[in-house]
C-alpha cells in the first residue's frame, strides 16, 4: 500500500520528538512518495495520477523530475 505524506507530517517527523514516534509507527511498513525527498502533497498527487494512468509527466520542477524517475514515470522535457 502506498501513502502520500502531507508536508505537515514530514515536518513533524523532522522537528518534533513527541510526535515523531507516533508518525513513524503509523507509516511503518508502507511505501510512501516522500521517502527520499520532500515534495508538496499536490506534487505527490500529480505523480500518483501519472503513475496510475501510465502517462508521461510534464514539469519544470527538478524535484518532481527526480521523483518521477524514481517511480519509473516517463518525463517530457520542456
**9-56: pLDDT as tens digits:** 666 666 666 777 777 777 777 666 554 556 777 788 888 888 889 999
Residues composing the chain: 78
Q: How confident is the model at residue 73 (pLDDT cuts 50, 70, 90)?
A: very high
Rounded to an integer, what distance in angstroms lies between the CA atom of residue 20 and that of residue 68?
27
Q: CA 64 → CA 18, 22, 27, 51, 69, distances in Å?
A: 30, 28, 22, 13, 9
Query: Which set of grid coordinates corresponds to residue 49?
Result: 495520477
Amino acid at each position: 500500500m502506498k501513502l502520500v505524506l502531507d508536508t505537515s507530517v514530514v515536518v513533524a517527523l523532522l522537528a518534533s520528538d513527541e510526535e515523531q514516534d507516533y508518525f513513524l509507527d503509523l507509516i511503518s511498513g508502507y511505501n510512501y512518495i516522500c521517502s527520499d525527498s520532500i515534495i508538496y502533497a499536490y506534487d505527490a498527487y500529480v505523480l500518483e495520477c501519472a503513475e496510475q494512468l501510465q502517462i508521461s509527466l510534464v514539469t519544470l520542477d527538478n524535484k518532481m523530475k527526480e521523483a518521477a524517475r524514481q517511480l519509473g514515470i516517463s518525463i517530457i522535457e520542456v
